[in-house]
Structure 1
Amino acid sequence: MAVPSSLDGNIPVVNMGSLGVGKEEEGASEAEWHRVAQGLYDALSGVGFVYLSHHGIPEAQINNYTNATAAFFSLDQQTKDKYSLSECNNDDNQNGYIVADRERLDKTGRFSELRESYYMRNLEGVLPDSEVPQIRPSLKAFVASCRILTNRVLRALALGLGLQEDFFTSTHRGMCLESPRNGTVLRINHYPPLPVPIPDNVTRCGAHTDYGSITLLFQDSMGGLQVRNVDGMWVDAEPKAGTVLVNAGDLLQMWTANRIVATEHRVVIPKEESRQRASRYSVAFFVSPDDEVLVRPIDGSTSHPPVTARQHLLDMYAKTYQY
């Protein structure tokens, strides 16, 4: 019988135990795999989010990468614009800077979103090496750990769904690699200090669902993330030391015929003035299947039309970016 997950508000916590990064995957017992699988399935088929404790990604890797990209965001705007996604993006690069309010996730169209980002899909692509020489080595180390954790989560999810263990891992081989093509992206978001007074038509991140399979989210201590729970209420997803927050994306919901839920979430402006005047950072590893993978409901139903992973991402990006 699976060990129940603990609860933090309305978002469960699953202990990765011997499946954490840095531990031998095959050393985990069958019971351990099924414990984690049950916990992940219960969480992602319910609220759609789960905290992973004992995930094993070293704190130093997270800090090194966050500090490196924070150094980039501190550069003058003209320098940052040299690395803009529109200037740099091509099939060989797929990296770039996204200026504040270019990406709008709020579906109402009422809000500007005060958030700048750096988007990285290709570890060998263009990066601001001359301005921030530590960014590439810190990126490579962090992505390697994220790939390991992602594969263990995907394997456990397949078990939780009663599928072959490699059902998902076999369709996500190209995460942050050049070949095969894959839309997985590591991005860091910088929410700068808010203007005084704060206009009524601004927010930090509008309500949305993620596009891909799953997301690994690493928050700083500033807070502000909210998740819409099963009762339709907004729940604070408070930063929880030593955990990574994982959520399901649209493609996973489509693939599982709605057994797994892609839950709406947002980042709100904090009430505390001290937090309004401070920067907020988050790092997200947005996981997608390889480009050519055809995603269709595993139960054979017509609950969602088939779509390739690449086409789905292109469709969603077209709705999101302000040109």
Structure 2
Amino acid sequence: MARVPVVDFSAYSLTRSSPDDNSVGELIQSVHDALTSIGFLYLVNHGIPQSVIDNAFTQSRKFFELPKDVKMKYKRPDKSSEGNHGYVECEQEKLNPERPGDLKECFNYGPREAKGKMPDAELPEFAHCAVNFYDQCNRLSNRVLEVMARGLNLEDPYIFVKAHAGIGGPDNESAIRFLYYPPVPENVEVDQIRCGEHSDYGSITLLFQDNQGGLEVKEKDGDFFPATPIDGAVVVNIGDLMQRWTSDKLVSTVHRVALPETEDAKRSPRQSMAYFYHPDNSHIVTCVDGSDKYPPIGSGLYLQQRLNATYKY
């Protein structure tokens, strides 16, 4: 059975001003091997302070524990064309359209849309926490993208990074999803799970898990295996747009969040936080190897198409 590789990022950790020349080559190869095979990896020694991660979990947990009528004041717009920032109630999303609605709640955070739309009255620290966490994820993502480009031996190792230059501005949709999976209700529908089978949309995803587990990754033979949480590790995976961008050299893999099996686990909520890194809306994605395997497509158009298929409004 395949397992998600663990990659030590200390050679290019955020605590460093430049890569370690003695070990960065090994890092580049390890990332390349993981992302061209299974499309997932655990990143350890990445440099995002654990205190920043812990605070993001704490602040988002406080939001999800608010009464529903309060959370609904910060509801995500009904139409994806009107924005993606805000609260998504349980069962509102169907990431696998063949299943019932996902048993999860979300709060999408994007700095472009967040002004005046954060629960400042109820949680005055949440906005600052989200800004800080978003910045750390952005910095780490840029380094991962550079490592990926070097693994592909691209002429410009910053080609992917440059396509995300508008981060935080009106031309970029990169976002954090704070996710909360409540205790499993007694009246679960047939085939209903916490998060349906799907692949991610954009460039890469950084996923931070609590210790509850539930994430499962699909193997080539169709079976799923657990991506068990590792203390201090960030899960990194490839999105569909990056697979297209690299002419299928980097692999976007289907994954899901299954229902827990034990009664104790069913009574326990689960939290995770996903940073979805997308190229600027105006960027035209073309195959970096010049193969024209896929026709060019605007990043913003591609994202809107995927979001419109996700929400069951």
Partner of residue 106 from structure 2, selected from 72, 95, 117 = 117
Report the 3-state secondary structure (helix = DSSP H, G, I; strand = E; otherwise coil) of the residue aligned with 1:159: helix
Per-residue CA distance 1:189-248 (angstroms, 9 max, x = gap): 111111125332421000000000000000000101000123432110000111000000
Q: CA deviation at 1:56?
A: 1.2
Counterparts in 2 of 1:266-281, with a 5 A limit? 266-281=256-271
- The answer on whether the counterparts of 1:34 and 1:156 sit within 8 Å (CA) in structure 2 is no
In structure 1, runs of 5+ residues without a counterpart are 1-7
Partner AA of 1:166 in structure 2: Y
Distance 1:307 1:90 in 2: 18
Q: For residue 143 of structure 1, what is the aligned residue in structure 2?
A: 134
Partner of residue 217 from structure 1, selected from 203, 207, 210 = 207
- The answer on whether the counterparts of 2:203 and 2:278 sit within 8 Å (CA) in structure 1 is yes
RMSD: 1.9
Q: For residue 172 of structure 2, what is the aligned residue in structure 1?
A: 182
CA distance 1:90–1:297, shift in 2 (3 Å): closer
Moved more, 161-170 or 259-268: 161-170
Distance 2:46 2:220 in 1: 26
Moved more, 33-42 or 61-70: 33-42
Query: If the length of structure 1 is used for normalisation, what is the TM-score?
Result: 0.91
Query: If the length of structure 2 is used for normalisation, what is the TM-score?
Result: 0.94
Q: CA deviation at 1:306?
A: 1.4
Distance 1:112 1:230 in 2: 26
Q: CA deviation at 1:183?
A: 1.4
Per-residue CA distance 1:146-202 (angstroms, 9 max, x = gap): 111111101100100111111111111123x124x1111111111111112533242
Q: For residue 18 of structure 1, what is the aligned residue in structure 2?
A: 11
Partner AA of 1:172 in structure 2: H
Distance 1:103 1:250 in 2: 19
Partner of residue 52 from structure 2, selected from 51, 58, 61 = 61
In structure 2, runs of 5+ residues without a counterpart are none
- The answer on whether the counterparts of 1:107 and 1:207 sit within 8 Å (CA) in structure 2 is no
- The answer on whether the counterparts of 1:88 and 1:96 sit within 8 Å (CA) in structure 2 is no
Q: CA deviation at 1:9?
A: 5.4
Report the 3-state secondary structure (helix = DSSP H, G, I; strand = E; otherwise coil) of the residue aligned with 1:305: coil
Q: CA deviation at 1:111?
A: 2.1
Q: For residue 169 of structure 1, what is the aligned residue in structure 2?
A: 161
